[in-house]
Structure 1
Amino acid sequence: MKLGILGNGLTSLSLAKSLVNKGIFVDIFLDQKNLDFNKKRTIGLSKKNIDFFNREILNIEKFLWNINKIEIYSENLKGEKILNFENDNYDLFSMIKNFQLQKELLSKLTINKFCNFKKKKNYENLNLKEYSLIINCDSRNQITKKFFYKNLIKKYNSFAHTTIIKHKKIKNNVACQIFTRKGPLAFLPLSETETSIVYSVKGEKNIDLKKLFEKYNFKYESVLFEKPASFELKSTNLRSYYHNNILAFGDLLHRIHPLAGQGFNMTIRDINILCELINCRIDNGLELDKSICIDFEKKTKHKNYLFSRGIDYVYEFFNLESKMDNNILSKSIQVIGKNKFLNKSFEKIANNGLDF
């Protein structure tokens, strides 16, 4: 029994590590000889997903920076807070740098006897019969272009601009998001002296991120900027999750707006479900075959679609308000946020997805 994984990103490495932990042989096909580590990208992980990651994939506690409070503001309310989330019993989520997680996963997989790295520029000649399952996490290969190109696509006419700032040491455990007239701006703490900035700006590929940061910054001092990176924003949902024994995975299945920081959280939930299906087959002495792809799609497709649509509705809500000359919508959210039941419900969805 052997599985093939196409791609070398966080999704591929995380999934591979969860499989080799079960004693499953995995071949990882890299799309480049040397991995490039993007040091400007960060990830926010929910508590439930961290627990799963630590238990089933790799203990990452030493890399995490915990967030115990989230504050949300609207520019239409002149800096007034519209939502506030905090929990006395546990941290709401934690931040981690992409490259730290990627390097740690790679180092553990490199020395694992169940894992083998292969270089493959062209997947056309891949021997599909050699593998019980092939999991495709690579959006740029020929298999994707041939079998996984039918998507529901929404373009936001926006670009996300990301960087990491270094600043004067402070108690830095409160994440902040401001819905500006240009788009959502997030301040995501990474340590006492570092904070990730993610600004999704409508229609502007080239911006002066430092100038915009200075306009909305209210707590960071002695700031040093790293050179920003940017990428186009769009939402996608794949129409069909599999072809024969090839399962699409990760961003190929769903890509969402980063305003809620839920993209990789959705992928970890998918890994959890896929692992449960694989465990069930192994426990019952069954082969790993195409039936896993079928069952995985049945279990996840509708939830992934509804969750991604929910994120899109949040974006459109605040996008509508940015075009208005009043603050009625922000005021209404402010009132809703004071309802403890609804507030806790929002928190549970962020933590668990639609399984709450």
Structure 2
Amino acid sequence: MPKNSRPTLTTGQGFSAAPDSEREGRVSGHVLKALRRAVGHTQESLAERIGVDVSTLQGWESGRRPLMAVSTGQYFRLRHLLHRLGAAPRLLTQLDTALEADRFLGYVLGAGRTVDLESHPLATWVITRPFTDLVAWPFIGVAPAVLAETGSSVRRGPTGSGPELAADERQHISAHLRAAAEQASRDTVKGSLLRRQAHYVTGFDTSAETAEWLAVMQGAEKRRLRAAAEWSPSWAVVRSGAHSLARKGDTEALPEFIDAHVSTDACETANLNYWAYWLGEVADPQLADTFMVELDVDAWRGDRMLNHLTGKLDPANPYVDIVVHSLWALIIRKPGLLDDRNAASTTPIVLRLLDEGTVSQRSRRELEAVLYALRMAQRR
């Protein structure tokens, strides 16, 4: 493709949207299978406990009989039974979120070339990390951590180790999301939300066409966002775009974003608030990206964020620069988070990363400031 040409939006060859495609079940089916295995039941024994034919349970787990098609009463009976059998609440929450992920996949697979910009699922709420992990699963083949920890979601069998997408389905989803991002309004909060989230989810597609499109889109977004500008919904689009490019191997995307676009109090606040939402410190669902600057940073604790960020201080992490910057900003804003115990456990991690010498100069300066704060905390 010529250097300056724009990647075209085309659906998969031979793909046709099924009229009942909102009755999607592949993600929730695999989560249900992980839950069944976690509570130590076979398909036959669990089907007997539920009071359904084993073929019905097999259909739910395979996605052939979408779980979202059952009655609300039947779903809650299943959920309550799994809870009584010992399923952890975190896993049961994953099942609820998997239904939302299936609804999203079904909506996109059933959508034609025209994008409904008002009712699109990515225009109606700020998606969460659990939802995104489940949507990414059939693209990247990596189970969400909460499922992988059970050891039950990765076993292989006749139905595969996880939800899968056929090649034409992947192409259709990617083309649809690219169209949504390109058609969404750049002048409204809702349009920016759709643009940002479609941009981000598209990044899970591994095709070369999508990688080139992401780079083109990010360049266009950055030109619209002035360097050192105050926060705007477009800022959030560029932030997500930088993360997508980093995931694709662009080592300059995040350092450039931090240097150019995280230089004001509002943008620092937005970055921290988004982390808090992403990691579940902010429990309430958000309807627009404006929460990033409207939410008081003191409204959430930060313990979960501190633990997450210190656990991601790894030179192999493609997001390491934004992790370092966010950790530095979090400690400045909430110094009381540091105590003897977490300071002692974090110090060697920071020292190892400094010794690696692989992070940017800015990250190195921020790590040195973090190290100073950790040592001061140990002396208190």
Larger strand percent = 1
Q: State the TM-score, normalizing by the size of structure 2.
A: 0.21
Question: Which fold has the larger relative contact order, with Cα–Cα distance below 8 Å and residues 6 or more apart in sequence?
Answer: 1
Answer with 1 or 2: which has the greater Rg. 2
**Between structures 1 and 2, the one with greater helix share:** 2
TM-score, normalised with respect to structure 1: 0.21
